[in-house]
Amino acid sequence: MPLSRENSLTRKMAAATLLAALVVATLFAGIESFTVYRSELQDIQTDIGRILDAQKDSAAKAVYELDAQLGNQIISGLRSITSLTSARIIDDYGTTLAAFTVERTRPALGWLTTFAGIDDLVIRRDLRASSQNMGLGHIEVVVDRIAVLDQHLIQSLSRASWIGAQFFIVALVLGWLFHRQIVRPLLDMVGQISHISPGDPYALPVAAPHALRRTEIGLLAKAVNDLVRGATLALEQSRQSEARLLTSRQRLARAQDIAQMGSFERNLITGETFWSMGLYRLLGHPSTDAPSPALTFMGFLHEEDLAAITSELDELIAQGSSSLERDIRFKRLDGTPRHGSLAIEIGYGPDAQAQFVYGTIIDITARKSAEQALRKSEERYALTARGANDGLWDWDLETGEVYFSPRYKEMLGYADDELDASYGIWAQLLHPDDKEQSEATANDVAEGRADSFEMIFRLRHRDGSLRWILSRGAALRGQDGTCLRMAGTHTDITALKEAEQALAQTEERYRTIFENEPIGIFRTTLDGQLLEVNPAMAAIFGFPDRETMIAQVRDVGNDLYATPLLRKRVIDQLLLSGRRIQVEVEFQRLGGERFLANMNISMTAETADGTVYLDGAIEDITERRRAETALRDSEERFRKLFEEMQEGSALHRIVVDDAGKPTDCIYLAVNPAFESFSGLSAKDIIGRRGSEVLPGDNTELLKICGQIAQGAPPRTLSTYLPDTRQFFQTRIYSPEPGHFATIFTDITQEKAAEDRLRASEAKYREIFDSTSDAIILHDMRTLVCLDVNAAFRELTGYIDEEFQILTPAALSSGEPPYDEAGAQAVIDRIKAGETVACPWPLRRKDGSLVWTECVIKNVYLDGQETIMAVFRDITERKKLQEVMVQTEKMMSVGGLAAGIAHEINNPLGIILQMTQNLSRRLSRDFPANATAARDCGLDLDRLAAYMERRGLDQYIEAIRNAGERAATIVRSMLDFSRKSDSNRTLCDMAVLLDQTLELAARDYDLKKRFDFRRIVIERDYAPDLPPVECSETEISQVFLNIIKNAAQAMAGNPTQELPPRIQVRTSRDNDQARIEIINNGPPMDEATRRRIFEPFFTTKPPGQGTGLGMSVSYFIVTNKHGGSIMVDSGPKNRVRFVVRLPLPGSPQSRSEGQ
Amino acid sequence: MIRILIVDDEKGIPQALRDYLEDAGEYEVRVAGSGEEGLLLLPDFEPDACIVDMRLPGMDGNEFILAAHTTRPDTIFIIHTGSVDYVLPERLREIGLTEEMIMHKPLLDMRIFEDILTGLLPQKGNRT
């Protein structure tokens, strides 16, 4: 036997070694072949690169410049490389410029192509020009990998074979050595062991193997042999005792398993603990575990039990007792609470010291559960009996005795001792309508026609209400079948009945809804049969009523859906979702019109027969869609409006505190106009708080906005931004509760226009009030006075708002034609469009009348027909007329003078010239006179003496003076009539005054009567007075007249204390030049002052002045120059003449210039 | 002698003037009561100057001057008028009359005639 084992091992080893050699050789061959193949491919690529690099300069040309020669150069270079199948130069368009292909016969290894997926290797190189990729072509080289592989395979295989052979030889040698030196001694040794094992362990080996004598390994084997022999003996013994122990343990474990029991023991001295497998199992621990240190002694026990047991154990030990039994609660490892029964035994040592605790635990959870279930069941029964709803009755037909249980009575509102139990009572309480039926049923049982009954009747409750009672009963029969007793229960089913009724009502309600619901409701079968629809559904689909629809629709998919496929999809979807779905489906009406509907559909399986129904509701949403589209369009429009409107607009949400008081707002949206108005960007403020965006105190504004957001009416506020000088009108309203929107309108322009209007109004008001004519406005229709101007108030004496009571009649004198009727006549005329001008005696507030010239016309004010009456006080005009009369007078004087001047001048000429001749011919000095006198014998000297004596000289002189005076008067009078010489120039008043003063100083008359040089002249000329357009000579004459008058007046009063003085002043008085000439002569009395400008009025003695100087001056200033002249006289010896002349450009100046 | 023709219908005026001028010595004065009469005198008298009233019976002074000027262009004309609103017509201005030659009645001093005539007729003064 050992021999055959030896042979077998050697053979196996030899085979293994051979196999290993083969594997190694093959491996080597493969690796070699692959390496060669890789390096060969590398070489080919390098070669291609090299060839291409060699042609680099030539190839650095655009492809279109590649000529055939260059192409062939490259190709021939490539051709030298073996294993190349083909190479070609291709341009970008895929055209082959040059190529070669080598036809190769497929080598023996061709099958690898398909087997190993080895294919030709294609190498592509882009043609490059210098460093720049021309991108115009490339070279494509195809390498036949199989050829490469083929070429080197034989070489690789031979090398691999060589290596394999070497390895094989080495393996053989090693194998022999191994066998010789190790395996054989070992086999000998094993042979020895096998000899001793089955037999006597102590027997000596029979024979030592031959090899053991010589080698050290033999000695070693002998030693091992001895050792093995001893060990085998010990092992055998141990194995036997172990087997016994195992058996005993298994037995114990099985017992414990069966008893669901676990046991443990603990050495109280050493603390060692042992748990049985049963215990582990009991506690749910993996049974293979060793006692876990984590599990303390009885750590699984309920805390209370542990404490109790511990103390009991202590007590036991103290008493020296040895056993304990009790129920315990414990936990399995997974936390399940269990009940157990614990038995403990204490082992004492010889010294009565407690040494061991032994214990067993039995799981009694099942028993405990059963006990508890029983107890619960009992309790439940008790409770049920106590709280049972049924009343019990028992009727002994033989004795007629009846028992009603307390619950029976309670059901009807009676206490246990209140209601006598009898058949009669029941019959009394029974509702009359139920009586017949109930008694009949009871009789049926009583008389044997039925064994039990169940009926419903109504009994009257103590409070008068009716109770629905379900009565069940059964008969107890005697031997002969007669009914001895009947007993049963009463159940109050009033609530149930009521619920039933309510249910019926609900059902009715649902039916009503079903009938009246505007949404179509339907039920179909799964395969498309229409079972039920409501009228709305029929209407939606265009059927006259639901019956017709149900009758006519054969297949829902065909008849109602736009296409049958739609229904299939819906059902697929429904099946997928498995519950109610909502879909939008296109349906068709009876006429074929298609429409879109929203459908809620669900699947119901009736359990009774397993039929599947589809229930659903359909809402025609065509209109809704239209409305939605319209709404969207509208929203779009309004959004655009919001975006495009010129008014800035912002939407805010109000933020309130807990008390509902607005504390802030949040910007929700703003439009571009708002951004431009506010200079704030929407992205910066949307979603932000008002307090962040507009810092500062906005409490008041927020309060207003908050009120509006909470329902107050919209408001419009005006805001002025001083920084930008802009006025804003802000409209605040609430588009929805809790929100407010603001619309800002820039009303700066409007405001400006308004201001202008107001200014204009004020201006016209000013004009209205400042005009000297009294104006009153009446409403044409009502004749209510609307307004009067200041002049009217002044003229009539009415003050403030008193004018409001004034009617046209009240302003009339009351005497025809100036009475109410007259006023009405005037109003009628102006109503007809006429403008009425007439004199009108206007009644003042004090009742007095003032004569006015009245112009009344119809005007439109504020779109209202208004009577405007303008009254001019003609009292004043009369004064003017007087002035005009004065002027007329002067004019007529002038005209007269002009008419008679010629006639007067001739005689005056005769007088004066004759007087001159007379004087000369009487003169002694004139030679002619002497001759004539001599001829006549007259002595001229004597004549002279005679004339002197008789005063004839003076006569002549007097005649001459009178003639001269008359001539002056005539000339002065002519000034009135003389047309303005229109020789007007711009005169500087200061210059003119100076010239006039000089003239005055030289004046003959002045010199004669007054030394003008004694008069102090004071000049005060305004430097800014512009020149006056006037007739220089005329104005000079005016000034001269005044100055002369002044000088003469002062001369006439030589006793005055002050030196005579004339002040000459000029100044500008609006658009008039004002010239004042003031003297300090005697004051002018009032009569003189008033008449001073009248013609021929003079204060001078006769012969001095013509009486026309001042009136001519007046005429010149007022009539010819449109100015004015006045004189006043103050108390302090002062007479002042004031001449006003219009400055160029003033109205008077213009009118006078024409 | 300087020959002066006075045309005036108011007898006193030419008389006073003639007396005055004749007293002055170097003047020969004739008087015509109307323009027409004056024109008749012109050819014989050949006046060096005419002193003409405006308001005349028949032709007025202006017409006379124009007519006289036609026949005697060298004659000097002096207007002596009682009108206060006399305006020198343009036609007379054209034949050399100026405002200086207008004398308004009544003349306070007749020496002015002498002055004017002396000024206007220097050569005539030397003729004698």
What was the ipTM of the complex prediction?
0.83
Residue A53 identity (one-letter amino acid): D
Instruction: Please tell me if residue A905 touches chain B, with a CB cutoff of 8 Å.
Output: yes
| Segment holding A159, helix H or strand E | helix A145-178
Contact B19 A921 (CB under 8 A): yes
**Percentage with pLDDT > 90 across chain A:** 1
Instruction: Please tell me if residue A920 touches chain B, with a CB cutoff of 8 Å.
Output: yes
Q: Find where tokens 């003729």 sit.
A: B127
Residues of B in contact with A963 (CB under 8 A): 106
Q: How distant is the Cα of B11 from the closest Cα of chain A, in angstroms?
A: 9
Q: How distant is the Cα of B21 from the closest Cα of chain A, in angstroms?
A: 10
pLDDT at site A294: 44
Q: Best residue in A905, A918, A922, A977 to probe B by mutation, most B CBs within 10 Å?
A: A905
Instruction: Please tell me if residue A919 touches chain B, with a CB cutoff of 8 Å.
Output: no
pLDDT at site A774: 87
Residues of B in contact with A914 (CB under 8 A): 12, 15-16
A325 burial type by CB count under 10 A (0-12 exposed, 13-18 middle, 19+ buried): exposed
Q: Are A133 and A92 in contact (CB under 8 A)?
A: no
Quote the CA–CA distance of A1010 and A629 in Å, as a whole number: 113
| Mean pLDDT of all residues belonging to chain A | 77
User: Does residue A253 have a pLDDT over 80?
Assistant: no
Among A926, A963, A974, select the one facing B106 at the smallest CB separation.
Answer: A963
Average pLDDT (A874-897) is 64
User: Does residue A208 have a pLDDT over 60?
Assistant: no
Among A906, A921, A978, select the one facing B105 at the smallest CB separation.
Answer: A906
Q: How distant is the Cα of A1101 from the closest Cα of chain B, in angstroms?
A: 24
Contact A917 B16 (CB under 8 A): yes
Q: Best residue in B11, B18, B23, B99 to probe A by mutation, most A CBs within 10 Å?
A: B23
pLDDT at site A1152: 43
pLDDT at site B30: 93
Contact A898 B23 (CB under 8 A): no
User: Does residue A792 have a pLDDT over 50?
Assistant: yes
| Segment holding A406, helix H or strand E | helix A406-411
Among B20, B23, B83, select the one facing A902 at the smallest CB separation.
Answer: B83
User: Does residue A134 have a pLDDT over 60?
Assistant: no
Instruction: Please tell me if residue A931 touches chain B, with a CB cutoff of 8 Å.
Output: no
Q: What is the signed CA dihedral for A849, A852, A855, A858, rounded to 10 degrees?
A: -20
User: Does residue A873 have a pLDDT over 50?
Assistant: yes
Listed as own residue / partner, the contacts of A989-993 with beta carbons closer than 8 Å and 24 or more positions apart are: A989/A1021, A989/A1025, A989/A1027, A989/A1028, A989/A1066, A989/A1073, A989/A1075, A989/A1141, A990/A1019, A990/A1021, A990/A1025, A990/A1066, A992/A1032, A992/A1035, A992/A1036, A992/A1039, A993/A1019, A993/A1021, A993/A1039, A993/A1064, A993/A1066, A993/A1075
Contact A917 B19 (CB under 8 A): yes
Contact B10 A913 (CB under 8 A): no
pLDDT in tens, A360-391: 888 888 777 777 777 776 666 555 545 556 77
**Percentage with pLDDT > 70 across chain A:** 78
Residues of B in contact with A922 (CB under 8 A): none
A978, closest residue in chain B (CA to CA) = B85
* Token duo for residue A508: 């009715």
pLDDT in tens, B8-64: 988 888 998 998 888 887 889 999 999 999 999 999 999 999 999 988 888 999 999
Residues 946-975 of A with CB under 8 A from B: 963-964, 967, 970-971, 974
Which of the four pLDDT bands, split at 50, 70 and 90, describes residue A897? low
Contact A913 B20 (CB under 8 A): yes
Among A898, A908, A911, select the one facing B84 at the smallest CB separation.
Answer: A898
Number of other CB atoms surrounding residue A606 within 10 Å: 9
Instruction: Please tell me if residue A930 touches chain B, with a CB cutoff of 8 Å.
Output: no
Among A901, A913, A920, select the one facing B82 at the smallest CB separation.
Answer: A901
Contact B20 A916 (CB under 8 A): yes
User: Does residue A785 have a pLDDT over 50?
Assistant: yes
Determine which of A254-268, A613-627, A887-901, B5-19 has the lowest per-residue pLDDT on average: A887-901
Contact B82 A902 (CB under 8 A): yes
Q: Which DSSP state fits A1115?
A: I
User: Does residue A879 have a pLDDT over 70?
Assistant: no
> In terms of pLDDT, which residue wins out, A560 or A334?
A560
Average pLDDT (A415-426) is 80
pLDDT at site A840: 84
Q: How distant is the Cα of B53 from the closest Cα of chain A, in angstroms?
A: 10
pLDDT at site A5: 46
Q: Best residue in A893, A906, A915, A980 to probe B by mutation, most B CBs within 10 Å?
A: A906
Contact B10 A970 (CB under 8 A): no
Q: Which of A120-134, A373-387, A1103-1117, B26-40 has the highest mean pLDDT?
A: B26-40
Among B13, B17, B23, select the one facing A906 at the smallest CB separation.
Answer: B13
Q: Best residue in B105, B110, B111, B113 to probe A by mutation, most A CBs within 10 Å?
A: B105
Among A905, A916, A970, select the one facing B110 at the smallest CB separation.
Answer: A916
Quote the CA–CA distance of A558 and A592 in Å, as a whole number: 11
A360 burial type by CB count under 10 A (0-12 exposed, 13-18 middle, 19+ buried): buried
Tally A–B CB contacts below 8 A: 83
Q: How distant is the Cα of A889 from the closest Cα of chain B, in angstroms?
A: 20
Sequence-ordered strand ranges (E) for A81-237? 84-91, 96-101, 121-129, 132-143
A916, closest residue in chain B (CA to CA) = B109
Q: How distant is the Cα of B40 from the closest Cα of chain A, in angstroms?
A: 25
Listed as own residue / partner, the contacts of A252-259 with beta carbons closer than 8 Å and 24 or more positions apart are: A252/A276, A252/A278, A253/A277, A253/A278, A256/A281, A257/A281, A259/A362
Determine which of A206-215, A428-437, A784-793, B25-34 has the lowest per-residue pLDDT on average: A206-215
Contact A913 B16 (CB under 8 A): yes
Helix (H, G, I), strand (E, B) or coil at A1052: coil
Contact B13 A901 (CB under 8 A): no
pLDDT at site A1154: 35
Contact B16 A910 (CB under 8 A): yes
Helix (H, G, I), strand (E, B) or coil at A983: coil
Residues of A in contact with B82 (CB under 8 A): 901-906, 909
Which of the four pLDDT bands, split at 50, 70 and 90, describes residue A115? low
Q: Which residues contact A486 (CB under 8 A, 6 or more apart)?
A: A394, A395, A397, A442, A445, A446, A473, A474, A475, A476
Among B13, B55, B85, select the one facing A909 at the smallest CB separation.
Answer: B13
